[in-house]
Amino acid sequence: MIPGQRTRPYHVFPDVPGSCTIARCDGFCSDRTRKTPYHMTREGLVNTQRYRDRRVYVTGGSSGIGLSAARQFFRLGADVLIFARSPEMLQRVAGEIDHHRVSQDQRISWRVMDVSIREQVNAEVLEAVGEFGIPDIVINSAGQSYSQYFEQTTPEIFDSLIQTNLYGTWNVLSSLVPFMKTSGGHIVTVSSIAGLLGVFGYSAYGASKFAVVGLSQSLRDELLPYGIRVSVLCPPDTDTPMLERENLTKPPETTALSAGAGIMSPNDVARAMITGMEKGRFIILPGFEAKGIHLLYRLVPGLVEKIIQYQIARAQKGS
């Protein structure tokens, strides 16, 4: 036996749907030497009861970061309610998430909701709280992206981004905060690295995401006395359907700048978000590149601006 190796194996939940590989498992994976159920994933040993009986609301939960967050929380034992606009997609992804359940009494449910329509949000949230319960965690992942030169960005596109990204966040929080003030919890808004640093080609998108950061910072202090923590997630480019649509109109200068921040998978972003939440971080920056860019801009903004201008000029010469 290898020195230090355990004599009793952990129960293992495969990443694909199926039952535990250990015989006589009691419905979820556990090490019999521990009081808390665990299971093994590619990321290592995970406490599947860390979020047991926690209720998690995820807007934009049918794809991208929202879907990955919903899946991660469900695998950690939480009850998850996802919101999005397409009932077909919601039904499909809810069935997929259900394959990751770690206890028989877990709940995964969904509701159709457009976060930009205030009356609809108010009605859906009221029904959700009555049926599912007050959330312990809210992930505001519903959003819209667009990249284009300023003069080619129409007022309609600008309004749409503000309505979805800013008002969508406001609508959800204004409906949920009164309920959460009675029990506390954790709110995560989703901004972007472009919400911390102005980026060429993101005049509309960046404006909406800067506003989300400002809203979150104000709420952080205002809600703290009620036991509500607030974090804002600021990821770099993430491999999602939204990025694919964004790339259709993205200027070459923006493409060159984005390459420096790297691209992440939504699963990696969701894991970084949960880690940041547990560490009590306000601004959560997934990935080494995003952290490095943010730190450099805070310490030597003039140098960063010169680097950005050089990359823009280089891209323009090559186009």
The pair phi, psi for residue 77, each rounded to 5°, is 100, 0
* Catalytic residue list contains 191: yes
- Name the catalytic one among 10, 205, 208, 250: 205
Q: Of these residues, 191, 203, 208, 258, which one is catalytic? A: 191
Region class of 24: left (phi > 0), else alpha (psi between -120 and 50), else beta: left
Query: CB of 221 within 8 A of CB of 274?
Result: no
Contacts of 17 (CB under 8 A, 6+ apart): 99, 100
| DSSP letter (8 states) at residue 183 | T
d(CA 168, CA 154): 20
Proportion of the chain in helix, strand, coil states, percent, rounded to 5: 50, 15, 35
Judged against a pLDDT cut of 70, whether residue 51 lies above it is answered with yes
- Give pLDDT, residue 18: 41
Mean pLDDT, the chain, as a whole number? 86
pLDDT tens sequence across 190-208:
999 999 999 999 999 999 9
Sign of the dihedral defined by the CA atoms of residues 202, 204, 208, 211, in that order: positive
**pLDDT attached to residue 38:** 52
Task: Report pLDDT for 24.
Answer: 32
Phi/psi zone of residue 201: left (φ > 0), alpha (ψ -120 to 50 degrees), beta? left
DSSP, collapsed to helix, strand or coil, labels residue 12 as coil
Dump pLDDT digits (tens) for 94-149. Answer: 999 999 888 899 999 999 999 999 999 999 999 999 999 999 999 999 999 999 99
- Tokens read off for 193: 């690295």
- What does R_g of the chain's alpha carbons equal in angstroms? 21
Is residue 205 annotated as a catalytic residue, yes or no? Answer: yes
Structure tokens at 292: 């490095």
pLDDT of residue 48: 61
Rounded CA separation 118/114 (Å) = 8
> Which ranges in 99-117 belong to alpha helices (H)?
none
**Global model pTM greater than 0.75:** yes
113 near 121, Cβ under 8 Å? yes
Q: Where are the domains of the chain?
A: 1-49, 51-318
- The predicted-structure confidence for 141-196, as pLDDT tens digits, reads as follows 999 999 999 999 999 999 999 999 999 999 999 999 999 999 999 999 999 999 99
**Per the residue annotation, which of 209, 216, 250, 297 is the catalytic one?**
209
CATH topology of domain 51-318: Rossmann fold (3.40.50)
